[in-house]
Amino acid sequence: MKRFWLVLLALGLVMAFSASVFAADVKFSGSFYAAGMYQDKTTFRKNGSADGPSTAFYYQQLRVNMEFIATPALKLVTRFDALERVWGGARSAPGTTLEAGSSGTRAENENIAFDNAYIFYASPIGIFTVGYQDDKAWGTVFSDNTYSVGKITWKLVKMPFIVGLQMGKGTDQSKTAYNTVGYTDADADFYTAYGVFLWKGGQVGLLGRYDKGRIYRPAGIPALGLTPFRSDAYAVVPYVKAKIGPIAVEAEVNYLFGKNFDFENATQDVKFDQWNAYLDVLADFGMFYAGATGAYVSGDKPGTANKKEGGTLNGGADWNPCLILFNWDRYFWAGTIPGYPAANTANMAGVMENAWFGQLRGGVRPVAQLDIQGSVAYAKADKLPTGILEKEYGIEVDVTATYKITNNLSYMLGVGYLFTGDYYQGTSAANEIDDNFLVINKLTLTF
């Protein structure tokens, strides 16, 4: 009998110590939007057989964040996107290529696809996260290309300082049950270290990142028609944000160096030498506000075969300063807008590349629920690709109005007009191009 009670007591202790794990709270948050878009031209070409027709359609996306909270310091964080599709539109063909910013393919996101699933643990020595989680978002929104990737992170918060380390796996080509032809040392890995200092009304931070690329190194890769090579990319990214009275200022610089192609034979290596920069100033006086933005992304110089000065760094898919130019949402749903030749889609793929950019904007809030904003932007190329005659991408004028129906529900109506620049004439000044405009309306619910 004594032995029976001893076993029963032991089981009771196990249950007691495990109670915090068995019990879990679930927290939901997320967003849903339904939008309609009309785009007047799907190419910039005029008076030719390749003139683009207009396009008009409705589309939507549901995003849900779920947190399974075991204790205040321990939780499982997940996120999925669902019904991300054009109403009544053609469905994507199944495949294996992941959608930008997601852990699923485009076809999967049209139904449902989980992007994130990771453990969050706030320990006495810092915060640890392990699993698929967001990456490539740092500092300001400029140059951010948020996507989901498997990684391990550590962050220590000792105000006014925050420091952190990260390591992750972009590509793994090891032999597995579903990759029967595996390679050794043929992965893409990254390592990140950062620090942030905060003060009342501002913050400054510095991030360093190393991307180790070995996916084209193995001897079996020449079957793809490529000479084996390695890549080692290093990025240094400082930023600052500050608010002085009604004036808010933020700035960021990205510098990329290292080797894009490090061949293990006599083939000439190619070095990275790229940078971009961003400055934004906003004066907010309550009912009225005004601001200015300047941005630069270096372009690749024709004729420098041993250097890659552009094409890797960009303005980021998360940064959408205009409705037509540099707008990832427009590109994702409506596609590129080509000029001459057909491959000339520069800066119509949702991110700013090889460009100088300037914008003036202003707005008014006549009532608390309504925000009306107008902007004028100008963009031109940093470097001219071989054969392209002119640098101007164009001048864009945008007007948007956002009405807050409730605390969680808002409606936006926007009109953008692009005075198309001569860059899209391509290799001949005789090629005729046309201006373009877009109308968008969007209903957004957050919860």
Peptide linkage before 160 cis (omega within 30 of 0): yes
User: What does the pLDDT read at residue 48?
Assistant: 67
Residue 6 lies in a domain: no
Under 8 Å between Cβ of 65 and 30: yes
Under 8 Å between Cβ of 43 and 53: no
Domains held by the chain: number: 1
| Calpha distance 161→419 (Å, rounded) | 46
Under 8 Å between Cβ of 379 and 306: no
| Calpha distance 37→310 (Å, rounded) | 32
**SS3 for 28?**
strand
CATH number for the domain spanning 74: value is 2.40.160.100
User: What does the pLDDT read at residue 225?
Assistant: 66
User: What does the pLDDT read at residue 364?
Assistant: 98
Residue 16 lies in a domain: no
Residue 14 lies in a domain: no
- Taking residue 63's Cβ as centre, other Cβ atoms within 10 Å add up to 16
Please report which helix (H) or strand (E) contains residue 438, including its range: strand 436-446
The parent domain of residue 370 ranges over 23-446
User: What does the pLDDT read at residue 19?
Assistant: 42
Q: Where are the alpha helices (DSSP H) in 106-227?
A: 106-109
What is the C-alpha R_g of the chain? 25
Residue 1 lies in a domain: no
* Tokens read off for 314: 């960009």
Residue 4 lies in a domain: no
Closest by Cα among 39, 135, 43, 28 to 80: 28
Residue 111 lies in a domain: yes
Counting as low any pLDDT under 70, the low residues of the chain are 1-23, 48-50, 219-225
| Calpha distance 378→66 (Å, rounded) | 41
| Distance, first Cα to last Cα, the chain | 56
Residue 338 lies in a domain: yes
Residue 9 lies in a domain: no
